[in-house]
Amino acid sequence: MKKYLITLAAASAAGGALAQSSVTLFGVVDAAVTYTRGSGDGSAHKTQLTNSGNMFSRLGFRGTEDLGGGYSANFWMEMGLQNDSGTGFPSNSNNQASGNGPAGVLSFNRRSTVSLAGPFGEVRLGRDYVPAFWNTAIFDPFGTGGGIGANQIYFSGLGGLVAPTGTRASNSIGYFLPANLGGFYGQVMYAMGENDSNALLPGTRVPSKHDGEHTGARFGYQSGGLHVAIATGRTRYASGDLRVTNLGAAYSFGPSLMNLKLTSELYKESKGSTDAKGVLVGFQLPIGPGEIKASYARYKLEPANAVREPTSSKLAIGYVHNLSRRSALYGTLARISNRNGAAQALAGAITMPGRSSSGIELGMRHMF
């Protein structure tokens, strides 16, 4: 088989700096066999082929063009993959439930941005992660992917998986601080709901012009083994704003303590008159070519005037065996406990209020 190069349509104007202008094709394909079960009369178990147990499956195109003087133009188009069935994920066009796309289609739902970067930082336009998502993803050793170990605060939260702006926002303008601030970093985001100026909440005279409008910020510090970050975000809805605030902290011990890394998160959110709180602790421990990791997360809903506060806790432990820097085999055990009427279950299972759900997954992840 002969090989020849894929070329790009546009030449760089920065002739002498070609080495720094590039387009990159990248992705992850991650699949696992997963068994989850619930408990109680009416509960159900399931065995599935799942995706994204270790890293979220994706396919993307990104590029950077060196403009000289420390400036660059950049784009990033990245789609999520449900590689167990060859489908993808819809995006959301207006940061409101009405803007959800049809299930199972492909879209560049994960990120779709164009940006100008320079000594001043970076201004980014398009669909991107909301700042307050990052702490939930980064400070859980299992992240927020499709695996059974993933951060339970994200899965049971008001402002997590199900909220249109729980992970990303469309129509956003983002600003990122430059990288050279001695370990300090930060970002702010403003995203638009794009409603008509005279829009009303259906059946009412309540203006809903600002529905889906998101503002968020995140600031952090990473140096040596220490990493801390605080983030907050608000999405406006005439039916009640969604507010999320969280704090993440991690410390990586050096070789003297087996390169152990401890992680933690504090989380607080509200939607209208319902509050919620979350807390997480975890660790990652390298073992030869692999890594052991574990996390414990608890999430408590506090509805206004409610007698009971539904609470769910997840304990997860896993092992990742690296075949290379790009490929790994992994296994995870997880268990959710529910109290006060909560009925959270691991994906695929159905459990009864106050009962537990547990599961196991064994999978393979390949990155390119």
Could you tell me which stretch among 111-119, 152-160, 242-250, 338-346 binds its own copies (CB under 8 A)? Answer: 111-119
Q: Find the length of the chain.
A: 368
Q: Which two tokens stand for residue 113?
A: 């941005």
CA angle 215-242-128, nearest 5°? 45
Burial status of residue 13 (CB atoms within 10 A of its CB: 0-12, 13-18, 19 or more): exposed
By CB under 8 A, is residue 46 in contact with its own copies?
yes
* Residues between 306 and 335 with contacts to its own copies, criterion CB under 8 A: 323-327, 329
Instruction: Give residue for tokens 């082929």.
Output: 49
By CB under 8 A, is residue 120 in contact with its own copies?
no
Among 52, 55, 56, 91, the residue binding its own copies under the rule CB under 8 A is: 91
By CB under 8 A, is residue 267 in contact with its own copies?
no
Instruction: Give residue for tokens 């997880």.
Output: 334
By CB under 8 A, is residue 107 in contact with its own copies?
yes
- Residue 161 Cβ, how far from its own copies at the closest point, in Å? 17
Instruction: Give residue for tokens 């990120």.
Output: 111
* Residues between 174 and 233 with contacts to its own copies, criterion CB under 8 A: 191-192, 194-199
**Residues paired with residue 22 on neighbouring β-strands, in sequence order:** 64
**Three-state DSSP state, 103:** coil
**Three-state DSSP state, 23:** strand
**Shorter beta-carbon distance to its own copies: residue 74 or 259:** 74
Q: What is the 3-state secondary structure (H, E, C) of 80-109?
A: EEECCCCEECCCECCCCHHHECCCCCCCCC
By CB under 8 A, is residue 288 in contact with its own copies?
no
- Residue 164 Cβ, how far from its own copies at the closest point, in Å? 11
Could you tell me which stretch among 168-176, 264-272, 277-285, 306-314 binds its own copies (CB under 8 A)? Answer: 168-176
* Residues between 13 and 32 with contacts to its own copies, criterion CB under 8 A: 13-15, 18, 21-27, 29-32
Could you tell me which stretch among 75-83, 263-271, 277-285, 301-309 binds its own copies (CB under 8 A)? Answer: 75-83
AA identity, residue 260 = L
By CB under 8 A, is residue 350 in contact with its own copies?
yes
**Please, are residues 65 and 26 in contact by the beta-carbon 8 Å criterion?**
no
